[in-house]
Amino acid sequence: MSMNTEEQSISQGIMIQIFSWLLVKSLIRFRCVSKFHNSLVFEQSFMDLHLSNYSKINHGNTNLIAYPYDVCYSIEQEKFSKIENFDKFYDHTKYDWACFDYVNGLFCVWNTLWITIFNPATREVRYFPYLKCFDGKFTCSIGFEPEENKYKVVLTSDVHKGLSRAWVFTLGIDKSWREMIKYDRHDFHIIPHRSGICISGTLYRFNYYPEFCIVAFDVKSEIFTSITIPIEFGNNLDKNKRIKDYMLIEVNGKLGILNFSEVYRTRNMDLWIFGEEEWEHQIFQFPLGWNLRDMLFHAQNICMYGGEEIAFAINIEYAFFCFFYNVKNKSWRHYEVQNFCNWGGNIYTYSERLFPLENIGSPTKIARQFDSSLTKIAKGIGDFVSWSARLIQ
């Protein structure tokens, strides 16, 4: 029995509901089906619906990813798989040292020459407009404001031993950087090589001048404030001077500081969790039976996983292990990732996010920077040739 077209078709409303539960990778493929599918995927109302529905089955940051060198892998229990979407990103950054920041599906990667934004789910890489401060020292952070679903990239430039200038770029809205703070309004010196963290619409970073504290940036109001660190933490920092052994971390939606500077000597790690007005201190011990001298603890190899667990990616005698400490239950678990490559990169927890980057910045690095460099090189060669010619004469 044949059915007419009207009986066979599915209404657009039902189709939209079905699509809102799909993987981002599948939605990107559907863009090639028709004009309707192409325009639907990046409509704001659909992106909000997808964020709501997809997060219910994805449970937030559930993917543990490892990024050693030029390849990125998804790690699940004892298995790993290559994430093809990261290959395009590596093509853009493989020749440059860079710092990584991550929030809600987007990576912000930067060095002193450029700032780029990357969405692995949509395979988009975009470079931000050129700023003169790229020639100097600056720190870059990416934050997400959940009430209005807005991403903002914040650039702070330390010129005279403090947070002299700051700019913000709202993704999908701004076409150029907006300067927020004029000279000498704040006396902060944000540590550039330590990753920031965004929790419930607030960006946090370590500050070490004129005093060690935590700088907080409210993504919605675009206001900077500071948080005093716990006294015990400050005493330990003054004692060992090893800032690389500390990191900011999110614990059940709250700001935390993890200190692993004493792990080799005592097997203990210190965790401070910031409440409404004061810090709560916890001490937990790495499991017995493991030789810590064979392990390397570094902030790049540690991240939160699933809200309640702290994940540690560690090489032990050419084998790769993932250790997890449950902050709530105060318990450990671990597994070995079979046949994994020799470790030497970063780990993150990552969740897909349907957010387009096509109208942001440029798809290639800023030509102006490299043109000026080439011009200087060419001029130097020309001057050398002229000088050599005069010597010969």
- The secondary structure of 61-123 as a DSSP string is S-EEEEE-TT--EEEETTEEEE-THHHHHHHHHTTS--EEEEETTEEEEE-SS-EEEEETTTT
Contact 280, 273 (CB under 8 A): yes
Q: In whole angstroms, what is the distance from residue 36 CA to residue 126 CA?
A: 25
Under a CB-based contact definition with an 8 Å cutoff, are residues 181 and 155 in contact?
A: no
Determine the pLDDT at residue 313.
Answer: 85
Q: Residue 244 domain-assigned?
A: yes
Average pLDDT over residues 25-38: 80
* pLDDT given at position 271: 92
Return the amino acid letter for 97.
Answer: W
Is the confidence at residue 236, as pLDDT, over 80?
A: no
**Do 31 and 107 fall within a single domain?**
no
The answer on 38 and 105 residing in a single domain is: no
Q: Per-residue pLDDT for 85 more than 80?
A: no
pLDDT at 334 over 70: yes
Same domain, 156 and 225: yes
164 within 8 A of 157, measured Cβ to Cβ: yes
Q: Are residues 104 and 24 in the same domain?
A: no
C-alpha distances in Å from residue 240, one per residue of 92, 105, 194, 243: 38, 35, 17, 8
Q: Is 63 a domain residue?
A: yes
Average pLDDT rounded to a whole number, residues 241-270 = 85
- Concatenated DSSP letters for 235-268? HHHHHH--GGGEEEEEETTEEEEEE-TTHHHHSE
Amino acid found at 275:
G
More confident residue, 243 or 30: 30
382: in domain: no
pLDDT of residue 142: 93
User: Among 305, 298, 308, 293, which Cα is nearest to 335's?
Assistant: 305
The answer to whether residues 213 and 347 belong to one domain is: yes
Least confident of 39-48, 199-208, 237-246: 237-246
What pLDDT shows up at residue 242?
Answer: 63
| 44 and 78 fall within a common domain | no
Return the minimum-mean-pLDDT range out of 83-92, 237-246, 355-364, 366-375. Answer: 366-375
Over 80: is that where the pLDDT of 27 sits?
Answer: yes
Mean of pLDDT values over 387-393: 41
In the chain, how many domains are there? 2
Instruction: Give percent above pLDDT 90 in the chain.
Output: 12
Which tops the pLDDT comparison, 308 or 162? 308
What mean pLDDT do residues 20-41 have?
A: 81
Is the pTM here over 0.75, yes or no?
Answer: yes
Residue 94 pLDDT class (50, 70, 90 cuts): low
Q: Does residue 389 lie in a domain region?
A: no
pLDDT at 255: 93
Q: Does the pLDDT value for residue 69 go beyond 70?
A: no
Residue 373 has pLDDT above 60, yes or no: no
Q: 350 falls in which pLDDT band (50, 70, 90)?
A: confident
Q: How confident is the prediction for the chain on average, in pLDDT?
A: 76
Residue pair 12/23 in contact (Cβ under 8 Å)? The answer is: no
| Domain contains 291 | yes
Other beta carbons less than 10 A from residue 95's beta carbon: 6
Instruction: Provide mean pLDDT across the span 231-248.
Output: 68
Average pLDDT over residues 111-119: 82
| Token pair in block for residue 264 | 């080799």
- For position 382, what pLDDT does the model report? 42
Measured CA to CA, the distance from residue 283 to residue 270 in angstroms comes to 5
Do 302 and 213 reside in the same domain of the chain?
yes
Per-residue confidence (pLDDT) for residue 332, from 0 to 100: 92
Instruction: Tell me which H or E stretch contains 141.
Output: strand 138-145
The larger pLDDT score, comparing residue 126 to residue 346, is at 126
Considering the domain architecture, whether residues 31 and 163 belong to the same structural domain is answered as no
Phi, psi for residue 280 in degrees, rounded to 5: -105, 130
pLDDT > 50? residue 376: no
* Residue 294 binned pLDDT confidence (cut-offs 50, 70, 90): confident
Residue 390 domain-assigned (yes or no): no
Asked if residue 85 and residue 30 are part of one domain, the reply reads no
Which domain CATH number covers 220?
2.120.10.30
User: Could you tell me if 185 and 43 lie in one domain?
Assistant: no
pLDDT tens track for 134-179: 656 788 899 999 888 899 999 887 665 555 678 899 998 998 899 8
Do 82 and 39 reside in the same domain of the chain?
A: no
379 vs 352, which has greater pLDDT?
352
Task: Express as a percent the part of the chain with pLDDT over 70.
Answer: 72
Claim to verify: residue 25 and residue 84 sit in the same structural domain: no
Which domain covers residue 177, as residue numbers?
A: 59-375
Mean pLDDT computed over 52-66: 65
Is residue 5 assigned to a domain? no
pLDDT value at 229 more than 50:
yes
The rounded Cα 277 to chain-centroid distance in angstroms is 27
| 386 part of a folded domain | no
